[in-house]
Amino acid sequence: MSPAAGMDALSQRIPALHAWYRANARDLPWRRRGDAYAVWVSEIMLQQTRVTAAIPYYERWMLALPTLRALARADDHTVLRLWEGLGYYSRARNLLRAARIVVERHGGRIPDDPREFQALPGVGPYTAAAVMSIAFGRDLAVVDGNVRRVLARLTALPEDPRSGEGRRRIDRLARDLLPPGRAGVHNQALMELGALVCPPRSPSCAACPLREPCLGRATPEAYPVRRPRKRRPHHRVAVGIVRRPDGRVLIDRRPYGGLLGGLWEFPGGKIEPGETPARAAVRELREELGVRAEPVAELPPVEHAYSHFTVTLHPLLCRFVEMDPAAGEGREWRWVPPGELPHHPMPRANRKILELLTHRWKEEPPCPTPSPGS
Ligand code: SF4
């Protein structure tokens, strides 16, 4: 079949795709509202998170911050706390900044102009296309992971869709298939088809409204074509849980602008080659915060995977000795009673350590004492 004939055959099946969507769309909380704020928040949450995992976060968020104006009035702490566990925290901070800009410059109304909307912090072409098409009916094609996979299979795309040429071809195809005036339902239908009928493994081709023109249905799992990826690097990190005699625990704040920026954590850092976790913890505490502390016990290591690397955290209970306040300049840190630790927004890996600590502290006296010879 020529490419043009293939496109014609696909275009003819678009009404069947929309009918399938109307009959099978999941009842998702953001679809019940459908306004631009709801679509925006959900799309940002869904960028790195599965639908089932995002739903409780979305519902919690909307209970606390039901409108854009409520979000604009919220503080950083509240927003990060609501986002905690979703990862990629710059998304939450950008939402907050963007909401404040919408209130200041657009009178609290989310702009329905794609260029104005895309000028807001954290709004890229994908989010702009999703919100503009679903909430305002703008003719913009949305290409997320589900759409990319469906289009790659429909056309038996020979390129990896993550490559430059593959991405260009998918984007062009998505635009060419978009029926004018139907972008909202169309984009959601393609995304839903990818999620429900054409997932990465075991697609249900017999139930697919696009099976007739689909060029990849004989070997769907061969698409999208994948170039091998590099292995993720692995880091070993020492974490110092420093406790004063009054029971308070030291935490510091990750710098804004970096990974997990603005979240609180137990201080520490990478273990150098040939270094033990205890030595690394002592060194990092001294270098970063001017804290002298003695490791007295080691907790079980905590494994965590980020998108671009994996880590093993080695938590060490440490006895506080002294602190040079001048050395911690430029860092935000505080001594917190253990009961207040859960109220601080933290990276998920630190939350795992906190769980270990909670069990340990239930069983042990509040302040560890050094073992003989340590
Ligand atoms: S026919 Fe199969 S492979 Fe093709 S789009 Fe439908 S579910 Fe995916």
Asked whether residue 367 carries a pLDDT value surpassing 70, the answer given is no
In the chain, what are the domains?
3-222 (1.10.340.30), 234-363 (3.90.79.10)
pLDDT, residue 363, reads: 67
Asked whether residue 152 carries a pLDDT value surpassing 50, the answer given is yes
Number of Cβ within 10 Å of residue 98's Cβ equals 22
**CB-ligand 1 contact for 150 (6 Å cutoff):** yes
303-339, pLDDT tens digit by residue? Answer: 999 888 999 999 999 999 999 877 766 788 999 999 9
In the chain, how long is the greatest CA-to-CA distance? 81
User: Which ligand 1 atom minimizes the distance to the CA of 223?
Assistant: 3
pLDDT, residue 359, reads: 80
Active site residue 272: no
Q: Categorise residue 9: left if φ over 0, alpha if ψ from -120 to 50, beta otherwise.
A: alpha
User: Which ligand 1 atom minimizes the distance to the CA of 149?
Assistant: 8
Which pair of tokens denotes residue 149?
Answer: 């996979």
Entry pTM: 0.70
pLDDT band, very low/low/confident/very high, at 260 (cuts 50, 70, 90):
confident
Distance CA 222, CA 3 (A): 20
Asked whether residue 372 carries a pLDDT value surpassing 60, the answer given is no
**CB-ligand 1 contact for 135 (6 Å cutoff):** no
Mean pLDDT of the chain: 92
**CB-ligand 1 contact for 197 (6 Å cutoff):** yes
When mean pLDDT is compared across 8-12, 97-101, 239-243, 313-317, the lowest value belongs to 8-12
User: Kind of pairing, strands 302-305 and 310-323?
Assistant: antiparallel
User: Which ligand 1 atom minimizes the distance to the CA of 197?
Assistant: 7
**What's the 218 CA to ligand 1 centre distance in angstroms?**
9
Distance CA 48, CA 308 (A): 13
Q: Identify the three-state secondary structure at position 102.
A: helix
**CB-ligand 1 contact for 177 (6 Å cutoff):** no
Q: Which of 43, 192, 265, 284 is catalytic?
A: 43
